[in-house]
Amino acid sequence: MSRSPQELLRCTASALLLVAAQPAFAAADAQRGEVLATVQKLLDGWREADPSKVDAALHPDFREVTLHLQNGMWNFTPVSRETLIGTVGKIDKGSWDDRLVDPQVHVDGPIAVVWSRYKFTVHYQEAGVAHAAAHCGVETFQLYRQDASWKIVNFADTHADTCP
């Protein structure tokens, strides 16, 4: 079965568009990878109790907001950049373990958003007994690209003490 010249032209044009779009898809994937790497640097800094790693991931105007579900009510708790970095400097290595579950990344020019479910485990000892209390919820990270690198400007999470 032969195709008409119009059908051949449409097929050829479609193939050329797909080939031409490949670099754009690759660039978008690379940007999403850079955004996730910045978020992972923050989470690694928490896990490693490394204030300098946390500092490197955060924008100078960073702000954190936690919504903690207690007694059926959501309590709003803001945390400053300095408080977060100072707290990380006081914890033991390995005591905080924040794991993202299926993060979604959206990038548009110099702004990016990461939305993910998470499980955060706090490892500690009490009276010689090891504990690993966990909470879950949703975390969002808002990032800006500044001087060719991504920085986390805002972090917000929901904090429920029961995990599915």
In DSSP notation, 26-63 reads HHHHHHHHHHHHHHHHHHHHHHTT-HHHHHHHEEEEEE
CB 41: neighbour CB atoms within 10 A?
Answer: 17
* pLDDT given at position 15: 46
Domain coordinates in residue numbering, the chain = 34-159
Res 131: pLDDT: 78
According to the model, what pLDDT value does residue 124 have? 81
Measured distance CA(17)–CA(112) in Å, rounded: 26
Residue-by-residue pLDDT tens, the chain, 164 positions: 566 666 655 655 454 444 444 454 455 688 999 999 999 999 999 999 999 999 999 999 999 999 888 888 888 999 999 999 999 999 999 999 999 999 999 999 999 999 999 999 988 877 787 778 888 999 999 999 988 899 999 999 998 877 77
Copy the structure tokens of residue 97.
Answer: 């373990």
What pLDDT is recorded for position 125?
79
Q: List the 129-146 sheet strands across, edge first.
A: 73-80, 58-70, 149-159, 129-146, 111-126, 96-108
Amino acid at the residue 31: Q
Is domain 34-159 given the CATH code 3.10.450.50 in the classification?
yes
